[in-house]
């Protein structure tokens, strides 16, 4: 079969960040959650990029490294579908010590734990050595040559301004004063990294100079800004990048600085259905046959090409009036992908995933959902920021866990609308606008490794 592809897209995986877990934000905590997420990414998403720090910090990833039969993680890394974003050439075994020397608080704590030194580090060393012996280099992705801390400083400044605006609107003078104390300490520090932000917030909280609400807002803002700063860093040149994390509350990377969003009149599209293995029984039916799952991600397999065509049609179909893909073509691609998955996983129960328009109330600043969604929505005209397509499993209509955001080809921003209520733990797969990323990176020096 001739090679087929869509524009290369990577998803920076923010849901495995230990910072989010430490501060009660949306994250993957258990091996079951990790496996469901990896399977879903292979069947319905794009290749994943995991920060090397999360390989050593996330407890679910540690479990998958210690016992590879329990998770598809190692199989997917071998295929290159999941890649490790590395700052030191893939020497993950020494990373905790390196991060500790750089003043990363979480790494300093990790290095004192017997579990890490006596159990996890040997398993990690064995796994990395195996990958190196196989001369598999596709599992690594080089650290971008940009000063990532400076990007975080800029994005977090926008998040801080959003918090300040909210407190002013509510006339919370004591909270505003506490926020001012925080930002004065943060900006006067030698460095403005997320770990520095965290340390100052914890210090003020320990001194009882921050309320519980402001403490939580600042920690969630730091996590959010960190995830989207990686989107800014990676979405350079011709790179197409998504960021998967909690739908943003504090940051807006959808429209370039100083640029207004456009309006589009888009026609309603009917929902798209695709059948795939039931995630709830995946561990039992697919379980420990992870290479079969990896076939979906392996270029050259028939299922891979069926998925590529389905993704291509889905994104084009939901772009509305500018789309060249009609209902007949979309349904044909969905049927072919469903058929290919059924053949590959012949002994697995099937579940139906439905894709349809969705949006938010309360997500206006970032233009993507933080609401509980329904899938029978109608489209409204007017200024918006993006198309939001929500995939959900049949039987869970009205409450998907996440959504996919699609940009229009002409960079005009529009959104479909039908939403009730707010769920602040909503997960989004957010495609970074490269024009916005360019603006946020402007003037920031290149990252120079030590």
Domain tally, the chain: 3
The answer to whether the beta carbons of residues 244 and 224 sit under 8 Å apart is no
Q: Does any domain span residue 244?
A: no
The answer to whether the beta carbons of residues 416 and 379 sit under 8 Å apart is yes
d(CA 429, CA 154): 22
Which 3-state string (H, E, C) describes 13-81?
Answer: ECCCCHHHHHCCCCCCCCHHHHHHHHHHHHHHCCCEEEEHHHHHHCHHHHHHHHCHHHCCHHHHHHHCC
Strand partners for 393: 353
The answer to whether the beta carbons of residues 325 and 419 sit under 8 Å apart is no
Q: Does any domain span residue 265?
A: no
Q: What is the DSSP letter of 321?
A: G
Q: Does any domain span residue 221?
A: yes
**Tens digits of pLDDT across the chain (450 residues):** 334 444 568 899 999 999 998 998 888 989 988 988 888 888 888 899 999 999 999 999 999 999 998 899 999 998 889 999 998 888 999 999 999 998 888 889 888 889 999 999 999 999 999 988 877 668 899 999 888 899 999 999 989 999 999 999 999 999 999 999 999 999 999 999 999 999 999 999 999 999 999 999 999 999 999 999 999 999 887 788 888 888 778 876 654 333 343 334 445 677 777 777 665 555 555 556 788 888 888 888 899 999 999 888 887 887 665 567 888 998 999 999 999 988 888 766 777 777 776 543 223 223 222 222 222 222 222 223 345 565 554 444 444 455 666 655 444 443 333 332 334 566 777 778 787 888 888 898 776 554
**Are 278 and 420 in a shared domain?**
yes
**Are 180 and 297 in a shared domain?**
no
Let me know how long the chain is.
450
**Are 104 and 159 in a shared domain?**
no
Strand, helix or coil at 3? Answer: coil
Residue with tokens 């390989």: 55
d(CA 412, CA 237): 20
d(CA 248, CA 237): 24
**Are 366 and 398 in a shared domain?**
yes
Question: Which of 118, 142, 166 is the C-terminal boundary of a domain?
Answer: 142
**Are 315 and 368 in a shared domain?**
yes
Which of 243, 313, 338, 356 lies closest to 43, judged by CA? Answer: 338
**Are 174 and 297 in a shared domain?**
no
- Residue 111 sits in which domain range? 9-142
For 245, the enclosing helix (H) or strand (E) is strand 240-246
pTM of the model: 0.83
**Are 420 and 289 in a shared domain?**
yes
Question: Which of 116, 142, 168 is the C-terminal boundary of a domain?
Answer: 142
Q: Does any domain span residue 435?
A: no
350-357 and 373-378 beta bridge pairing:
unpaired
* Residue 294, burial from CB neighbour count under 10 angstroms (0-12, 13-18, 19+): buried
**Are 310 and 412 in a shared domain?**
yes
**Are 186 and 295 in a shared domain?**
no
**Are 136 and 153 in a shared domain?**
no
Q: Does any domain span residue 249?
A: no
Which of 16, 443, 440 lies closest to 227, judged by CA? Answer: 16
d(CA 6, CA 9): 8
**Are 130 and 102 in a shared domain?**
yes
**Are 422 and 295 in a shared domain?**
yes
């Amino acid at each position: 079969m001739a090679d087929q592809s869509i524009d290369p897209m990577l998803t920076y995986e923010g849901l495995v960040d230990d910072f989010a877990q430490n501060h009660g934000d949306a994250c993957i905590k258990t091996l079951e959650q990790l496996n469901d997420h990896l399977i879903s990414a292979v069947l319905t998403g794009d290749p994943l990029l995991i920060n090397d720090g999360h390989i050593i910090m996330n407890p679910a990833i540690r479990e998958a490294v210690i016992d590879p039969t329990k998770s598809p993680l190692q199989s997917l890394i071998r295929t290159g579908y999941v890649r490790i974003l590395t700052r030191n050439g893939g020497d993950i075994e020494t990373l905790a010590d390196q991060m500790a020397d750089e003043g990363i608080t979480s790494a300093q704590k990790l290095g004192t734990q017997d579990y890490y030194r006596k159990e996890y580090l040997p398993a990690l060393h064995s796994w990395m050595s195996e990958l190196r012996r196989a001369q598999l280099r596709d599992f690594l992705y080089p650290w971008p040559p940009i000063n990532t801390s400076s990007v975080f400083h800029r994005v977090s400044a926008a998040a801080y301004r959003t918090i300040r605006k909210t407190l002013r609107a509510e006339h919370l003078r004591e909270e505003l004063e506490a926020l001012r104390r925080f930002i004065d300490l943060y900006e006067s520090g030698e460095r403005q990294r997320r770990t520095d932000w965290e340390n100052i917030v914890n210090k003020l909280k320990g001194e009882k100079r921050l309320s519980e609400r402001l403490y939580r807002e600042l920690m969630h803002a730091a996590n959010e800004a960190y995830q989207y700063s990686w989107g800014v860093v990676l979405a350079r040149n011709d790179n197409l990048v998504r960021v998967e994390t909690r739908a943003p509350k504090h940051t807006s990377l959808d429209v370039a600085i100083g640029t207004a969003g456009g309006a589009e009149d888009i026609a309603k599209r009917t929902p798209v259905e695709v059948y795939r293995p039931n995630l709830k029984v995946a561990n039992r039916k697919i379980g420990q046959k992870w290479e079969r799952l990896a076939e979906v991600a392996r270029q050259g397999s028939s299922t891979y090409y069926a998925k590529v065509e389905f993704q291509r049609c889905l994104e084009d179909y939901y772009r509305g009036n500018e789309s060249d893909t009609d209902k007949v073509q979309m349904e044909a691609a969905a049927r072919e992908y469903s058929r290919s998955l059924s053949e590959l996983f012949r002994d697995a129960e099937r579940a139906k995933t439905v894709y349809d328009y969705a949006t938010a109330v309360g997500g206006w600043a970032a233009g993507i959902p933080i609401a509980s969604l329904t899938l029978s929505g109608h489209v409204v005209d007017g200024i918006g920021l993006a198309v939001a397509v929500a995939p959900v499993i049949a039987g869970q209509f009205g409450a998907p866990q996440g959504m996919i955001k699609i940009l229009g080809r002409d960079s005009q921003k529009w959104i479909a609308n039908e939403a009730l209520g707010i769920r602040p733990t909503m997960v989004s797969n957010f495609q970074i606008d490269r024009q916005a990323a360019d603006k946020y990176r402007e003037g920031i020096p290149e990252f120079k490794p030590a």
